[in-house]
Structure 1
């Protein structure tokens, strides 16, 4: 029996699957086109300041999934971290997500929770019964003033299109709170790895039976050399973009190094047009247990992803769904290939979901191997 497995991509999807299958006795080869593991979660010490920098932008771990939390803690220490995002709009600083403090500051009020809830309900556009677009959703539930201050311009900068062109589901992920809780996330487990994400992924890939090839692309023509292939790269790239390039947003970063504390917080969003960047992230504040005299800040700019750029966010508009469906249909006809991760399934995934789905993919493969049934092209329906 051929027990050789190929995994394309050394991010969390690939590393988790590699670790699980190597434990089960398979020989795993991981192919990574970059010079490092951990994908867009790659972190490293800045040479000038010794600050732990999230090279491709910040990643904060948060989950309610017990299995995922226990699994990832097996590879490194996680320290408590609460993401408290600030937002600048019209030369004023507010707290995000919108909470009781934001509402009271913005409108110059001293509302109690029930009063704020009633007030916000009075601002919503009740003529919008079934919100379809991002703009509909915002106007229906927070009203025009908060929408224009915090969401409209920021969305244009982030996505390169008007909120009236985006689905309402994007805004459904942004809560409004009627208390003073300024924790950006509401999950049971939240934290940062004490020594960065790259060390964690390196430990996942350090077991017996795993060989990692950095700076190495994988040719789909090589798939016949392996019992199975797990592919976490862009699904359209696997098929030579035969149905065209799926659209992504990418990020550019301007890096500032200086002494002291630049902004006093890890993340500050810029929600109006006073600046072209969407946010500034100050990386030493992601490791509050450390002390650094210097600081490293990333000024973040979003734009359309071109052919040689690093893809970050799948856009997934209605027109893209039709294109994606063509790729999914082609993928179903592949043999011994499973598509995983954000790029392989063309979905925006948080780290904990990525790890959960990778664990399930490994479970499914072992189940299929035991029962001698074919492994599916997708463990999770990308259109679901």
Structure 2
């Protein structure tokens, strides 16, 4: 059993999982995090007044087809069944998302069957667009102007802070259209919420005698000497003190409010109209439907460009950012003894299950490379 010490920057999912896997193999693990709590952006805590479990940095819903990842998280907490059923307010009416047969029939005032709805939407689509390049072209080609303007145009403009004509078509490819009445937003085999929140789950992962966690501790490169290896899950550009400029992110502002009763009757209500400044309202007690609470805690979400000091949420990854990212990747690959991991470290938007999968694979690769006395790569999954 080794007694080498590894430094992990970030006590979120990536850092916790890598740390746990290596601690179990005898490595001493030191984890530092600049925040005053563990779990990163999936940090949860109970509201003292209402008892509601609040997703402090916005809701995180666990969904995966990865059996091993599902078994892994269930080893540290109890997951309760949860289906994400999103509603949207547009033009003074409430609809179901993702766009499904109910949405189509309601929006157009029809009673179409599945095959009829497919034919109808094709008649609505702009078939002159042979190879959609932008978000707007993709939407117009596959759902037509009506559904696009009601459900996608305004919301996307608010979310990304730019016209949908400036966004790649690939963003919309992740949004399904269903020709049945299924309103579960996700279609993965395993879906759920941890019974007592994500912070308790990550605390369980970190609960190992070989792991030491230091919070409210900023990482500095000059303090990295003496460690066998560093796994860095902070911002890629931040590792280099933003020497090549800041990579583009969107951040979120939350306007928190409470309500005596049930405010909106669902966990997530999107607002597709540009005239409404926020993108959605989340009502957190509905993320724990197995609990009962009289009071309610809600967030209005506002999206804007990330500035220094803000929490980065969504990497923009447009042409300008990708060029800058390439420069940072080249710089990172000149570093020895550090592997960049996670959403911030690789400048990629990752769901929780993918984050855990990559963390498990990273830890296993490290063990294999150490056994071979071979170098660890800078990136397990290159950002470009």
> TM-score, normalised on structure 2?
0.99
Task: Report the counterpart of residue 299 of structure 1 in structure 2.
Answer: 300
Which residue of structure 2 aligns with residue 48 of structure 1?
A: 49
Structure 2 residue aligned with 1:102? 103
Distance 1:175 1:144 in 2: 16
What CA distance in whole angstroms lies between the structure 2 residues aligned with 1:89 and 1:52? 29
Deviations 1:196-227 (A, max 9, x none): 00000011111110000010111111222100
The count of residues paired between Structure 1 and Structure 2 equals 383
State the shift of 1:318 in Å: 1.1
Q: Give the deviation of 1:2 after TM superposition.
A: 6.4
Question: Following the alignment from structure 2 to structure 1, what is the Cα–Cα distance between the partners of residues 382 and 112?
Answer: 44
SS at match of 2:225: helix
Q: Is the counterpart of residue 37 in structure 1 residue 38 in structure 2?
A: yes
- The answer on whether the counterparts of 2:3 and 2:28 sit within 8 Å (CA) in structure 1 is no
Q: Secondary structure at the match of 1:230?
A: strand
- How far apart, in 2, do the equivalents of 1:161 and 1:183 lie? 29
1:195-234 alignment runs, 5 A limit: 195-234=196-235
Confirm or deny: 8 A CA contact 1:2 1:227 kept in the other structure: no
Q: Could you say which residue in structure 1 is the equivalent of 2:291?
A: 290
Aligned to 1:381: 382
The unaligned stretches of length 5 or more in structure 1 are none
Aligned positions of 1:210-359 closer than 5 A: 210-359=211-360
Deviations 1:66-87 (A, max 9, x none): 1110101000000000000000
CA–CA distance in structure 2, aligned partners of residues 86 and 177 of structure 1: 15
Alpha-carbon distance in structure 2 between the residues aligned to 1:54 and 1:304: 22
Are the aligned partners of 2:251 and 2:305 in contact in 1 as well (CA < 8 Å)?
yes
- Following superposition of structure 1 onto structure 2, how do residues 6-25 of structure 1 map, counting pairs within 5 Å? 6-25=7-26
Tell whether 2:86 aligns with 1:85.
yes
Instruction: Give 2:151's aligned residue.
Output: 150
Give the superposition deviation at 1:46. Answer: 0.3
Residue 21 of structure 1 aligns to a residue whose secondary structure is helix
Instruction: Compute the RMSD of aligned alpha carbons.
Output: 0.8
Partners in 1 of 2:275 and 2:225 — Cα distance?
54
Q: Distance in 2 between matches of 1:23 and 1:2?
A: 12
Distance 1:258 1:47 in 2: 14
Verify the 8 A CA contact 1:2 1:226 in the aligned structure 2.
no
Q: Give the alignment of 1:41-80 within 5 angstroms.
A: 41-80=42-81
2:382 and 2:237 map into 1 onto residues whose CA distance is 16
- Structure 1 residue ranges (4+ consecutive) displaced by more than 4 angstroms after TM superposition: none
Contact 2:3 2:26 in 1 (8 A): no
How far the C-alpha of 1:380 sits from its partner, in A, is: 0.8
Deviation at 1:126, TM superposition (A): 1.1
TM-score (norm 1): 0.99
- In structure 2, the CA distance between the partners of 1:23 and 1:2, relative to structure 1 (3 Å rule), is closer
Counterpart CA distance in 2 for 1:68 and 1:116 is 37
After TM superposition, give the deviation of residue 179 of structure 1 in Å.
Answer: 0.2
User: Aligned partners of 2:275, 2:347: CA distance in 1, in Å?
Assistant: 32
Shift of 1:273: 2.3
SS at match of 1:224: coil
